[in-house]
Every structure is written in C-alpha cells, then in structure tokens.
Structure 1
Amino acid sequence: MQLAKLSSLLVAALPAAINALRVPNSDTPLFNLIATGCNSCGIDYKPVRLYGGADYFSVLDGTGPIAEFYFSQGNLLAVNPSTSNSQPYRALINTQQTGAGDCATYGQFGTVLGSSTNKCAAYSPLTLASFNENSQLGATLMFNGTGGFYVCGLTSEVYYKADPNDGPSGCNPISLFTLPVTEDSSASTASGSGRSFLGLF
C-alpha cells in the first residue's frame, strides 16, 4: 500500500518535474523531502519543514515553512519559500561532542544560515540515492551512504542515527524521498508562496 501510494505520487510529479524550479547555478532543481515509513506515527507523507524544533532543527509537524532543497557543488542547501531572502541555508547533521572528546554517531537533521558553531556538525556526505524498488521514481536522502533517518519526540524532529540504539529513545525509522517543487499561481499553500505540492499538504 505504501509503495503504491508513493509510486502514484511520484508518477504524478514526473510531468511537473520538467518545469521544476531551479536556483541559479544549482546542480539540481528544487525539491521537497517527504517522510515515509511510519504510518502509525501520523507523519507518513509529511514534508520536512525548514525549522520548528529546538533552534534550527527540522521537523515534520508544526507551522514552519516547508523547506525547498537543492544541491550546489556537492552541498545540500535549502531556501525558505515564504521570504524573499535568497541566502541559502546549509543542511547538516548536528552531531555533538561526547564525554570522551570525539563526535557522537547521531544528531538532529537541520539547516543553518552560514555555519554552525558546533565543531562536530557534519555537512557531508549528504547525498541522494535512487529508489531501490524503482530507480525511475524519485530518490532518497542518504548520509554516510545509508538512510539512517528517524522521527523523534513530540514535535517529530528528524534525526540521523548510525545505529538504532544511538541517541534518544522512542524514535521510529523513516525514509526521506524527493518530490520536485513547481510553480502554481493558483495553488494555495501553507507557505503562501504559490508553490505546488501535488495536493499532499
């Protein structure tokens, strides 16, 4: 059921992808990240929001703007569709320093303007991989060559974990799929930007 629904959404997105929006000099068109894999959590097919959790961390619930991501020179960046500010946010995994002095193997996924003051924050390798069950349908976000993303807490914050037992408990695994962003002047969206999200949100 989940695969069938995801496939229908991505197939519907293919014509729109031809006219997908781009940031000048970017390597990819703009795309949203859509969470799947935890229907019981109430977050299936919800978009990653630019912020809404603690500080600058991404969440799946709330009223924060829906993040619009793109790659440029190998870096995952994001823009806020609800403002005219063109300065990009940098995506990162906010790993923290442990008591032993090294960097933890888990952290919140988020975005930041400029750079984080956290020396353990990891900006790469965030990459996209083809959807294993159908390489023609979208892509999934990867870190260190694996998915490893989870939804945690009451605000549905997005975490990366190298091991399921790392970090906070009570989390559920999710996958983050891409969906192209297109312009639709007749659309009424949460961001108020006229972006089209294929009726998902």
Structure 2
Amino acid sequence: MTAALSFQHVFEPGSEPPLLLLHGTGGDEHDLLPVGRLLAPGRALLSPRGQVLERGAPRFFRRLAEGVFDEVDIRRRAADLAAFVGEARAAYGLSAPVAVGFSNGANMAAALLLLHPDVLAGAVLLRAMVPLDEPGSGPLDGRPVLILSGAMDPIVPEANAQQLARQLEEAGARVRHEILPGGHNLGQQDVTRAAAWLGGLP
C-alpha cells in the first residue's frame, strides 16, 4: 500500500537497499519503474513525481533555459525531496536508498548528494550535468556513484559531466564515470552497465 506522503509516489516492496527512482522532464512516478525492475530485480522501489511543472511537464526543479538552472529552487526542492525520503523510510521501514535518476532526475540526485549527503547510500546518474555552480562540500564518505554519459548527447556537454564527476569526488564520493555511445536517450548499454554496477555494491 502506498502511504500519503509529501510527494505523489509509487512504492513497490522488495529487498534492501531500495532504489529511489527520479524521472526526467515530462515523466512521472511510473516512468522509471520498468527500468528499476530491470536494474535490480526484486529490489524495493520508491518513485516520486517531481513537483514542478514546465508547460505541463513534471520536473524536480525549475530551469531558466535549456541547461540553465534556478539554483535557489534546486536547493529548496532538494530539501523537500530529502524530507520526503525521510518520510518514506519511516513509513515503509526502509534503509537509505540508492538513487537512479535520468536527466532532470539525475541532476536532482546529484544535488541531493551534494547538499544532503546523508540521504542517499549511492547513486546512478544517467545523463547528468552539474546542478550547482557552488555546491556543498560533502562529506560523502566514499559513497558510490556511477555516472553514465552519452558521447553524442546534445544536452549535456562532456566537459560538464566531467566537472560533475570532479565535484562529487571532491565531496568524498567514489565515482565511476563512463561515456557510452549514443545521445541523451537511454540504451541497452546503460541498463547493462548500471545493473552490473548495482549488483557489485555491498
């Protein structure tokens, strides 16, 4: 049963640690459930819907233009999402989740890591870019992070994804950054690499 919490969401019971699924622009709480099931069969899944609407499309935070983020809004929305994760952990009896975020959801997962380092046990960031010019400095205490970028991504420049990897490393995360063939959309290689990485976590 899904509890009434501060974010509209779906919860699927399963094994620990749970996956926190964060959709991209225009997605919703159902969007990444099939991906979560593929990445970690039998794992508990917690999937909230972003609370910002951009021309009717749900997002996790506001942007001022393509690739230009409202950093004040990011900080506020990250605090709201961190509070929701705490509510969900209490309601469902969960340990700290590993985030799996795509695009806007990956950027929000990165912001959570940098601003609220105790909320997540780790993260898979799919097509992520730098969410904050001046983020917090951890400590992330060796939390594992996988960043999967697209070599031909028209939205996320390679240098930007590399800067995000550096920010997370400087905050204390254990980062693995891979650049895969393809663009901004996800492909089978993303699923294969992310599933193997998740399967290797303690």
Could you state the TM-score of these two structures normalised by the residue count of structure 2? Answer: 0.27
Larger relative contact order, structure 1 or 2 (CA cutoff 8 Å, min sep 6): 1
Larger helix proportion of the pair? 2
Question: Larger Rg: 1 or 2?
Answer: 1
Larger strand proportion of the pair? 1
Could you state the TM-score of these two structures normalised by the residue count of structure 1? Answer: 0.27
